[in-house]
Amino acid sequence: MSSFWNNRISISIFGEAQGPAIGVTVDNLPSGEYIDTEALAAFMARRIPEKYVTPELNDNAMPHIMSGIYNDRTTGTPLCAFIQNRVRKAPQHAELDRLARPGHADYTGAVRYKGFNDVREDGHFSERLTAPLCFAGAICGQILERRGIYTGAHIRQIHNTKDNPFDPVNITRDAVLSVRNKVFPVINDRKGWIMEEDIEKARNAGESLGGIIECAVVNVPAGIGSPIFDGLKNNIAQLVFGIPGVNGLEFGSGFTSAKMVGSQNNDPFYLDEHGHVLTKTNNHGGILGGISSGMPITLNVAVNPSPAIAKEQSAVDLHDMSEGTIAGIENHDPCLVPRLVPCVEAAVNIAILSHMMDYPNFC
């Protein structure tokens, strides 16, 4: 499987959901960087909000760091960490090794790997593999924040309810960090309450909901990234689409720009009181030609409803090629969005740090 990302910094994620352990190796990190393990654990804990997942999924174990950090400092050698998986009960559907369930990678995985892939709790396709991604992204985030670069995300929308957006032009470090410690990461708490009610209604109805996560990065200097295949958008997209459940991505005004004319979509340049080149609007989302402009980097990530629901669904038995049904999942997860918020931040952190390694005097 291709679970290796390499662009100055390399990330290799390994393991299956019900294997002995999952983990990650991160290479080419700058040496001598202080790593706050308490902040690292706090970032990891955001991935599993206790209110929105079943107890057997609520595993916030801190990864065991095997190499790459000594006396709380990065050594410059590969950083390897693993998370020991809990001993879990047998899967609810014993026939999962032969069923193609709607919305899952059962069929495509069986075709791609000739039926030999681990299907227990989705194996290597599982959302559980976002834990090592979060670990790697949290490490990168600490290195960036020490240079004044901050990444933050919030729930922009769940089903039909929308939160207030970030200010794409004037967003600040404080605004980015303001939602980080919230149990339910929204800007407008009243909208958040409505979202939570919708999630609970979906749970009670045996359904699931999707939504949108908005992410922003502040204080990225202009000139980071390269055109065509090594642009900031390219690399962010690669990592964000590695998160299970992500179904769409837009930067800046995104698909709304299709409704604009050129004079509306263009962001006029100007000089501020310090002589810095900025833009009056930020439809380009802080990236032009694959290169950072110095404006906040903004993106929206669409997350589909969880395919594991409590309703009976149609399925195909891949062993005898017969059609049938599969029972609903007890204690299903009604919404993936809240726990994917830090995963999006982590993916963006990795991409930004990778490009910042080229910036003069960064390391």
CATH of the domain at 183: 3.60.150.10
AA identity, residue 269: F
In a domain, 263, yes or no: yes
pLDDT, residue 87, reads: 62
Between 111 and 281, residue with greater pLDDT: 281
Tokens representing 75 are: 């050594």
Give the other-Cβ count within 10 Å of 8's Cβ.
14
In a domain, 290, yes or no: yes
pLDDT, residue 94, reads: 52
Mean pLDDT confidence for 227-246: 95
Specify whether the CB–CB gap between 163 and 154 falls below 8 A: yes
In a domain, 210, yes or no: yes
Name the residue range of residue 135's domain. 4-356
In a domain, 361, yes or no: no
In a domain, 362, yes or no: no
Confidence band for 53, pLDDT divided at 50, 70 and 90? low
pLDDT > 90 in the chain, percent: 69
Between 250 and 19, residue with greater pLDDT: 250
Q: Give the total number of structural domains in the chain.
A: 1
In a domain, 258, yes or no: yes
Mean pLDDT of the chain: 89
In a domain, 21, yes or no: yes
In a domain, 224, yes or no: yes
Distinct helix (H) and strand (E) counts, the chain: 8, 19
Of 95-99, 144-148, 334-338, minimum mean pLDDT range: 95-99
